Amino acid sequence: MEEVAAPSTTVEGRSVLHGRYELGRVLGEGTFAKVYLARNLRNGKNVAMKVVGKEK
């Protein structure tokens, strides 16, 4: 599993991480992170993306 700091941008109202993953709805959340449904913009596949809060 890859863990990296996630630079994000907003494109047409959508959150996009690393220019590659479009974040969708929240699938779950815990004390330190949220898990989002994300779509790989290169191949269209859905993945789960864990995003750790900045303050953690």
Q: What angle do CA 23, 30, 56 make, to 5 degrees?
A: 85
Q: What pLDDT was estimated at residue 12?
A: 54
What sign results for the dihedral spanned by CA atoms 37, 39, 40, 43? positive
* Domains, in order of start, for the chain: 8-52 (3.30.200.20)
User: Could you list the pLDDT tens digit for every one of the 56 residues in the chain?
Assistant: 554 455 566 555 578 888 899 999 999 999 999 999 999 999 999 999 998 987 74
Q: What pLDDT was estimated at residue 7?
A: 58
Is residue 34 marked as binding? Answer: no
Q: What pLDDT was estimated at residue 46?
A: 98
Q: What pLDDT was estimated at residue 6?
A: 52
- What is the SS3 assignment for 10? strand
